[in-house]
Amino acid sequence: MDPNDGSILAMASAPTFDPNRFRDFPPAAWRNRNVQDLYEPGSTFKVVTAAAGLEEGLVTPSQMIDCGNGSITIQNITISEHDGHQYGMLSFEDVIVNSSNVGTVRVGLALGEQRFYDWIRRFGFGEKAGLPLPGESSGLLRKTDRWTPVSPASISIGQEIGVTPLQIVRAVAAVATGGMLVEPRIVQKVVDDEGKSVYEPPKGEPRRVMSEKTAAVLNEILKNVVSRGTGEQAALAEHVVAGKTGTAQKAGRGGYMPGHYVGSFAGYVPADKPKLVMLVVIDEPRGQHYGGTVAAPVFREVAEATLRYMGVAPSIPSRTIGVGAPLLAAISQPQPPVGPATAVPDLRGLDARAAIAIAVASGLKVRAIGSGVVTSQEPQAGGALPGDRQLTIRLATAEVRG
């Protein structure tokens, strides 16, 4: 999907079928899995949990979270880390970069049932995205009166919820767009034989689901997922990728089925000026089953070829500072100093995403007013860092003259 206007550029389902001989194929192959099939998303859903936690002020990127040395128990149910990891204290940024289940669960529990449910609905889950395609599912999201005490924990890591691939793409695109949820579309317009437009479907208005600040911070975290975390195999040579891996054990009668998994990777590229949002879902992969191993390489190959086909010029500059370093320690920006600053950086003229990322990398707490580019800041550039490390930036849409 093009996150800028919601255009669906491609959908694919495999195994496929020949529509001219559809009866020669099993009915399961007739389905458009992108809009019809439900699956538990696993850790790709941590993007939603992270956005909610950051926006509600429950966590900051540098906040240390106790990951319980590998497990957490709720109502006699134990949730463990993937692949036997035993994390102790991790920053929230590294909770997402390393895809810690325990650290994410703590955020889900802190959100609470109703507040978490409202955030999930805000991202478009539990409703159809509205594409004019047959059989689109609204997903499976139970109301809170049917949740158990374990539900906030399970849903925070992408269990106990059924989603379509399109819903995940739409949610991840909200980070790519700076916090706006766009309406997907497959028809731009219909023209007659003379090229005259005879029909243009109405465009849905994007709606803000999180602040530009939250989207900017989350964008930096998701870039680090690819540069130094579980999504390393999605990295491209000419573009910075942001994304999240997912590995979900499949549910069956009586519980989850050992040895049956769904591996996925959801991401967007170029990370700072996205042109493409994409999700790869592999149902019951053979051998390796982690999303970072089976789905991320597919994302890399398809994204690389698609960007070349679209004519998107390389976006990685010749001089890059600190790619892959922790958000609070370094950031890929050539202008301000890297690392905790001794003076207030000059953010004027930068867009919200770049300004917030630089400020956070300097160890500042950011209050953003308005949208667009930074027109003023308090304290002013070059001054001493305030004791509370609070920085207020005012943004406005740049005036176009011609």
Instruction: Kindly state whether residues 95 and 226 are assigned to the same domain.
Output: yes
Instruction: Kindly state whether residues 171 and 256 are assigned to the same domain.
Output: yes
Does the annotation mark 43 as catalytic? Answer: yes
Provide the CATH number for the domain around residue 376: 3.30.10.20
Cα(57)–Cα(23) distance, integer angstroms: 54
Q: Which of 7, 13, 43, 71 is catalytic?
A: 43
Cα(108)–Cα(157) distance, integer angstroms: 8
Instruction: Kindly state whether residues 363 and 301 are assigned to the same domain.
Output: no
Instruction: Kindly state whether residues 263 and 117 are assigned to the same domain.
Output: yes
Contact 360, 336 (CB under 8 A): no
Instruction: Kindly state whether residues 286 and 344 are assigned to the same domain.
Output: no
Beta bridge partners of 267: 243, 278
Q: What is the count of structural domains for the chain?
A: 2
Cα(283)–Cα(261) distance, integer angstroms: 7
Instruction: Kindly state whether residues 244 and 128 are assigned to the same domain.
Output: yes
Instruction: Kindly state whether residues 95 and 49 are assigned to the same domain.
Output: yes
Cα(275)–Cα(268) distance, integer angstroms: 8
In a domain, 194, yes or no: no
In a domain, 297, yes or no: yes
Full 3-state SS string of 329-374: CCCCCCCCCCCCCCECCCCCCCEHHHHHHHHHHCCCEEEEEECCEE
Cα(148)–Cα(188) distance, integer angstroms: 44
Instruction: Kindly state whether residues 94 and 214 are assigned to the same domain.
Output: yes
For the entire predicted model, the pTM comes to: 0.82
pLDDT of the chain, 402 residues: tens digit per residue: 999 999 999 999 999 999 999 999 998 899 999 999 999 999 999 999 999 999 999 998 889 999 999 999 999 999 999 888 999 999 999 999 999 999 999 999 999 999 999 999 999 999 998 888 889 999 999 999 999 999 999 999 999 999 999 999 999 999 999 999 999 999 989 999 999 999 998 888 899 999 998 999 999 999 999 999 999 999 999 999 999 999 998 887 777 888 889 999 999 999 999 999 999 999 999 988 999 999 999 999 999 999 999 999 998 864 333 444 454 433 333 333 334 566 888 888 877 777 887 887 777 888 888 777 788 999 998 888 888 888 899 888 644 333
Instruction: Kindly state whether residues 339 and 231 are assigned to the same domain.
Output: no
In a domain, 265, yes or no: yes
Q: Which of 163, 196, 156, 151 is nearest to 52 (CA)?
A: 156
